Amino acid sequence: MKIRIRTIVAGPNGNFQPGDEPDVDDDFGKSLIDGGYAELAVEAEEEPEKVEDLGPDYTSMKKGELISECESREIDFPEGARKTDLIGLLEADDNK
């Protein structure tokens, strides 16, 4: 059985560090799991959770960067527009 060591384990069956994934006999593996020293290792890598792309974080951008972004997208904005106004225009453009 393949297990993942959670704590330092030392004894006649071997010495293991946290994170090690040794193949051990079933009885030894079950005793380590029952004692909280190990857990059953997952053979196949789990697929990473898909995260929806939410686009750029406009709130962390400086006003000049927002202006440049508006200009590159040819979004008209009033002279003297505030940062929140620019963010609103960019978000509206994203949702078209």
Q: 2-44: per-residue pLDDT in tens? A: 999 999 999 999 899 999 999 999 999 999 999 999 999 886 5
**pLDDT over 70 at 47, yes or no:** no
Helix (H) or strand (E) holding 16: strand 14-16
Residues 88, 67 contacting (CB under 8 angstroms)? no
Strand partners, 2: 23
pTM (predicted TM-score): 0.46
Q: What are the residue boundaries of the structural domains of the chain, listed by start?
A: 3-40, 58-94
pLDDT digits (tens, 9 = 90+) for 63-88: 999 999 999 999 999 999 999 999 99
- Closest listed residue to residue 9, CA positions, set 26, 1, 19: 19
